[in-house]
Amino acid sequence: MLNRESWKDLPIPDYRAPLVFRGGHGATLGIHFFKKSSVKYTLRLRLDTPDGDFFFTDMVPGNDGKIVVLLHGLEGNSQRPYIMGMAQVAMGRGWGVAAMNFRSCDGQLNSRARFYHSGETGDLEVLLNHLTEKMGFNRVVLVGFSLGGNVLLKYLGEKGESLHPAIEFGMAISVPVDLSSSSDQIESLQNRLYLRRFLKSLKGKVRQKMEIHPDEIDWERGLRARTFREFDEFITAPLHGFEGAADYYRKSSSLFFLDRIAVPSVLLSAKNDSFLSNSCYPAVRDNSMLRTIFPKHGGHVGFPHWPVSKQTYPELILSYLLSLADDRDSTH
């Protein structure tokens, strides 16, 4: 377990981007196209939720009570290269892996009309309770990317001092901690291709939901959405009990929960991440448990080294922190 008293002074390696990956888009796309990671999950866990729905988590459980829980980004899943890269690091350090698939993200449509969203922490709680109470894991590390990073930081802040003692530290990468301004940011010209790709995927699910739950909401308004804010106004908010997009962003942004995080945590985001607004790089001065790392380069969920087959910067940090946690644990 990491030492909480010395956490704020713990040296963390710097990131130096290779010249070829100093552009934000190059780092973002390069890591997805060129980095190859392969993990063979040995267990698929189906968990039922209190509202009568379900989600799946892909696992390599290990056998010594240590588990790294991985949370993917928007429309991602347990098979994404950035998830499998972190899984390889964890397994290489002797930790088990639980790669959560948010509802509808594993190729199987969930039962309820609702999906998942950036502030949904209830399903993470279901998974963590199962891992600790049913499967006996007593050492847990949480890692989240982008949307999953926001879920992770919000969860840690919500729990505060009441967080389950098995959770040792958290790590969040490329996080839109301010959802409202990030929603505006992704509408910029440089992000139009990303926006179209995400909306196409989300609208595909909307069409499926329309057939099963035709009277739940006015689905057609969501299909006409041209921005995230419009999609969240017409789909995300009414499906998940928010008054509108503004209410959803205000209640779900992890920015407003950071000061309550009570376990060693890292927020890593690159300054040239085209998805993030200026407010996604907060100065957290009053919470010694949260370390912010904002290097100049890295892109969105990128941070490659050269050659690309080498570990990314987030993978290096995770490996480093797991080794420290195990070394300290072995001395007690």
Of 72, 117, 300, 305, which is the active-site residue? 300
Q: Is 273 a catalytic residue?
A: yes
Dihedral over Cα of 253, 169, 91, 43: its sign: negative
Pair of tokens at residue 62: 């290990």
Catalytic residue at 117? no
| Given 146, 252, 253, 265, the catalytic residue | 146
**Which alpha helices (DSSP H) does the chain contain, by range?**
24-34, 81-92, 122-129, 147-159, 179-185, 192-212, 219-223, 228-231, 237-239, 245-252, 313-330
Strand pairing category for 96-100 and 167-173: unpaired
**Environment class of 161 (CB within 10 Å of its CB; exposed 0-12, middle 13-18, buried 19+):** exposed
CA dist., res. 25 & res. 304, Å (int):
12
Out of 273, 277, 297, 305, which one is annotated catalytic?
273
With H, G, I as helix, E, B as strand and everything else as coil, classify residue 56: strand
Told to judge if 259 belongs to the known catalytic residues of this protein, a careful annotator would answer no
Q: Any idea which residues carry the catalytic annotation?
A: 146, 273, 300
